[in-house]
Amino acid sequence: MENIAINGRILNVNLTTKEIETEIIEEEAYRDLLGGSGLGARLLFERIPADADPLGPDNILGFFPGLMTGTPLFGQRFQVVTKSPKNGGWGDANCGGDFGPMLKFVGYDGILFSGQSEHPVYLYIDDDTLELRDASSYWGGLAIEVEDRFKEELGKKISVALIGPAGENLSTMAGVANERGRLAARSGVGAVMGSKKLKAIVVKPTKKIMAQNKEVILAVKESLGEFNKKSKEFFTTFGTTGITANSAINGDAPVLNWGGVGIINLVDSMDMSGMNGPNFNESMEKKYACWHCPVACGAESVDGSDRGEFAFPKHTHRPEYETLGAFGVMNGVNNTDAMIAINHWCNEYGLDTISAGATISFATECYENGLLTKEDTDGIELTWGNATSVLEILHKIGRREQGIGDLLADGSTIAAQRIGSEAEEFLTAIDGEEPPMHDPKKEIGFAASYALDPTPARHTNWSPGKSSKFPTMPEPPADKNQFNGRGQLHKKAHEQAHIMNSAGMCYFVYTMAPTNRIPDWINLVTGWNTTFEELDQVGERIANLRMAFAVKHGNNPGARKIPGRLLGNPPQQSGPHEGFTIDLETMKREWWDEAGWDQETSAPDRNLLISLGLTDVADALGI
């Protein structure tokens, strides 16, 4: 059977020379790595020199849809991969919307950008055209506004991936946007795009859905019947917003820069009752789905131009849980309109909402403790629960204004270095990355994922393992707070995330879908005969490539310093996590033993790499 899920080619774009070349990718590479960040990890390991400046011409920025992206079998997403400017190690960011499928429909399974342009450009692709075009008139423009301009000028059927002012100004909290507010947000990928003077990628396909035959459609219908209906109904109704108010109290969401306790700090003036799904839905007009997604967890707003200082335009995206956690719970802000407006402006500037909200929370604690003054904050009263000040600071960060905007634009780690050593007490970032809004003291698997994965502070690299229906997935210990006996589980769970991402599946679809069908889904659109065991090896291969990339570039995930607040060190004195401290060392030791990674250097074992077909990787690392 013909492989109808892949195009078998990628683009190499040299922004210095303006050369654009098509490269053939053999089918064996897809079977080994699926696509997405798996294929990206293989190519970037080979092609980025170890001494490359993340914001220099030797770094490479890759865009990779997944293997099943663009097929009816639940493939919506693409990944942006690069050497991260946050820590000099492996960087990736995941995104929904429509850009991933549209890139595949125009005939490519990925794009690699090298070099740096002297002036702003954008890449235009349709069925007959490959062109780097001048983007000077778009440079400086807000992301949603520029996307709308492109559609007015080039046609509504285009799809655009682009940066806003934050990426142009090299904020390492910048992401890559598409579909008016979906962001590949983490790892500073937007700053890398800005460093290359690449404003946008515009694709205009005529091809429609890939692999849309009777057999595939039947498999889709059968699989939809096996989705977790309760979860699907909840997220279709409320999106991730629906869990925020409860998470603020039950110990899931971190409070006031990880220093507070929900049932103590959020029960009066900073009560989070406004942070619930029904409240947000009152301002929403219609549901929204990423490309052909059966869950449709998004929504778009009514015209909120009458909301005063927190006004927002029609079709603003409903905020996600992470946004509400970072800007709401972390800052003590209980204001629905403020959250919608803040979400809109993060999308316009092209900012990672997790990092931006967490960085403002860090700055607020510095202000509350006298490390920042009103003079430092440009006259803004940066206090807990002050929605006005949060939005004002956000605008300054998004435009990288001189003063507090520039101080905070590269995240809390760089800001702490600029403020002084006393600020480190309030720093919660891991290896330059602000952690997501799930406290690992409630779910200890997050601690290992946040601390030890090559891309730090990533909650979506642990949770898929909990939802996997692969028969090869080990059972967790009966005691959810047991630290030992988790090595194989942590290894397999993260490898499962790499399968999910490289296949192009959405995290929420994955957690609701009959994932025991994944080998069958892949075989239907490729003609392969893959198995659970083969896919497990694919996940292991990708995990080792990501770790090998980090080690090659001098980044050692196993040696990271983890802020005590995340681990309960010292333990909280009240609330759901009272007296609890996470034993990260035990979890790390057992995971590294299971994975075959050196306890001191994090380097993969040579024989392991050889067994995975990565002898050249072992040779490159000198092991």
Q: How many domains does the chain have?
A: 3
Calculate mean pLDDT across residues 541-550: 98
CATH number at residue 74: 3.60.9.10
Residue 347 token pair? 């999308």
Q: Is residue 187 assigned to a domain?
A: yes
Confidence category of residue 195, pLDDT binned at 50, 70, 90: very high
- 83: closest CA among 127, 122, 124, 46? 46
Specify whether 560 is located in the same domain as 527: yes
Specify whether 183 is located in the same domain as 233: no
pLDDT in tens, 286-321: 998 999 999 999 999 999 999 999 999 999 999 999
CATH number at residue 469: 1.10.599.10
User: Is residue 208 over pLDDT 80?
Assistant: no
The whole-angstrom separation of Cα 534 and Cα 538 is: 6
> What is the percent of the chain with per-residue pLDDT over 90, rounded to a whole number?
93
Specify whether 419 is located in the same domain as 457: no
Q: Looking at 374, 398, 426, which one is the last position of a domain?
A: 426
Specify whether 160 is located in the same domain as 289: no
pLDDT value of position 273: 85
User: Is residue 593 over pLDDT 80?
Assistant: yes
Q: Is residue 21 assigned to a domain?
A: yes
Cis peptide before 456, with omega less than 30 degrees from 0?
no
As a whole number, the mean pLDDT across the chain is 96
Sign of the C-alpha dihedral, residues 407, 411, 417, 423? positive
> What is the percent of the chain with per-residue pLDDT over 70, rounded to a whole number?
100
Residue 281 token pair? 């839905």
**Look-up of token digits 């997604």:** 293
User: Is residue 483 over pLDDT 90?
Assistant: yes
The whole-angstrom separation of Cα 614 and Cα 618 is: 7
Q: Which domain holds residue 310?
A: 229-426
Specify whether 371 is located in the same domain as 483: no
User: Is residue 530 over pLDDT 60?
Assistant: yes
Specify whether 406 is located in the same domain as 517: no
SS (H, E, C) 87-112: CCCEEEEEECCCHHHHHHHCCCCCEE
Q: Looking at 204, 238, 254, which one is the last position of a domain?
A: 204
Q: Is residue 217 assigned to a domain?
A: no
CATH number at residue 349: 1.10.569.10
Confidence category of residue 2, pLDDT binned at 50, 70, 90: low
User: Is residue 111 over pLDDT 70?
Assistant: yes
pLDDT in tens, 36-86: 999 999 999 999 999 999 999 999 999 999 999 999 999 999 999 999 999
Calculate mean pLDDT across residues 547-567: 97
Calculate mean pLDDT across residues 87-102: 97
pLDDT value of position 557: 98
Q: Is 52 helix (H, G, I), strand (E, B) or coil?
A: coil
User: Is residue 463 over pLDDT 90?
Assistant: no
Specify whether 244 is located in the same domain as 200: no
Calculate mean pLDDT across residues 357-381: 97
Calculate mean pLDDT across residues 361-387: 97
Specify whether 233 is located in the same domain as 199: no
Identify whether the C-beta of residue 570 lies closer than 8 Å to the C-beta of residue 564.
Answer: yes
Q: Is residue 211 assigned to a domain?
A: no
Confidence category of residue 465, pLDDT binned at 50, 70, 90: confident
Specify whether 346 is located in the same domain as 256: yes
Q: Is residue 422 assigned to a domain?
A: yes
Residue 161 CB partners (closer than 8 Å, separation 6+) = 63, 99, 176, 177, 178, 184, 200, 201
